[in-house]
């Protein structure tokens, strides 16, 4: 309410100024002959949404069936998409995100000590799992060109993760919160280090 000064905001708003609204452009099908790369990212995104609900031993067969039904891809393309997607699901550090007890499209609402006082943040993470010692989250980026490394990631994305991390630390005190971005166009899982998120959040709230 206005009296308490509380306002609901999206995680990206902590970047302030012009950068709060800046997000790298979505890949245009016009710049993508045959919309091949555009569709490839969508196929991988769909696999990442559906395969985690299956037992690990059933995932490859389901992926092959789904990808075989997609038109205009060569057999080699299909095989690469399957291997890349299964590689993400079996990632040594983030496999729990796609295993039993993990959750998809989790809404996060609340305050946190690391964030400005009279602000309630509302956001959603694509995938989350809470283990005995850690909270792991991943945010999917589809149809956006994947950067080569974390240093080239748009600050708006880092700021979103930093905000989610702050909320989850408040809910799960004592647990390590680890965050990653997943670029579906390249099937690339990219962990974002604490110090990278700290720098963006410090700059936004200073």
Q: What is the pLDDT of residues 42-60, one digit of tens each?
A: 899 899 989 999 999 999 9
Exposed e or buried b per residue across 154-168, where buried means at least 16 C-beta atoms within 10 angstroms of its C-beta = bbbbbbbbbbbbbbb
Q: Which residue has the higher pLDDT, 93 or 144?
A: 93
Q: Which residue has the higher pLDDT, 70 or 37?
A: 70
Q: How far is 48 from 41, CA to CA, in rounded Å?
A: 11
- Which pLDDT value is given to residue 93? 87
Q: How far is 40 from 10, CA to CA, in rounded Å?
A: 29
- Which pLDDT value is given to residue 22? 53
3-state secondary structure of 187: coil
Contact 159, 114 (CB under 8 A): no
- Which pLDDT value is given to residue 47? 94
Tell me the percentage of the chain whose pLDDT exceeds 90.
Answer: 54
Bridge partners, 183 (sequence order):
141, 188
Segment 140-190, tens digit of pLDDT: 988 677 888 999 999 999 999 999 999 999 999 999 999 999 998 778 899
Please tell me the least confidently modeled range out of 16-25, 69-78, 79-88, 131-140: 16-25
- Which pLDDT value is given to residue 52? 93
Which is it for the CA torsion 166, 136, 46, 26, positive or negative?
positive
pLDDT tier for residue 9 given thresholds of 50, 70 and 90: low
Average pLDDT over residues 55-82: 94
Which residue is associated with the tokens 């291997």?
83
Residue 122 pLDDT exceeds 50: yes
Render 54-87 in DSSP notation, one character per residue: S-HHHHHHHHHHHHHTSTT--HHHHHHHHHHHHH
Average pLDDT over residues 32-38: 57
């Amino acid at each position: 309410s206005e009296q308490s000064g509380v306002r609901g905001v999206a995680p990206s708003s902590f970047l302030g100024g012009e950068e709060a609204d800046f997000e790298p452009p979505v890949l245009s099908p016009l710049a993508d002959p045959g919309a091949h790369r555009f569709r490839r990212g969508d196929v991988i995104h769909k696999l990442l949404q559906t395969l985690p609900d299956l037992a690990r031993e059933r995932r490859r067969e389901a992926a092959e069936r789904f990808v075989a039904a997609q038109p205009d891809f060569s057999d080699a393309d299909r095989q690469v998409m399957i291997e890349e997607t299964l590689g993400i699901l079996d990632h040594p550090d983030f496999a729990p995100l796609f295993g039993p007890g993990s959750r998809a499209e989790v809404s996060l609402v609340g305050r946190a000590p690391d964030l400005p006082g009279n602000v309630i943040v509302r956001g959603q993470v694509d995938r989350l799992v809470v283990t005995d010692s850690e909270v792991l989250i991943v945010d999917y980026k589809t149809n956006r060109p994947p950067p080569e490394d974390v240093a080239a990631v748009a600050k708006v994305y880092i700021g979103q993760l930093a905000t989610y991390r702050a909320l989850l630390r408040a809910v799960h005190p004592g647990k390590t919160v680890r965050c990653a971005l997943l670029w579906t166009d390249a099937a690339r899982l990219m962990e974002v280090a604490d110090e990278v998120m700290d720098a963006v959040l410090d700059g936004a709230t200073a």
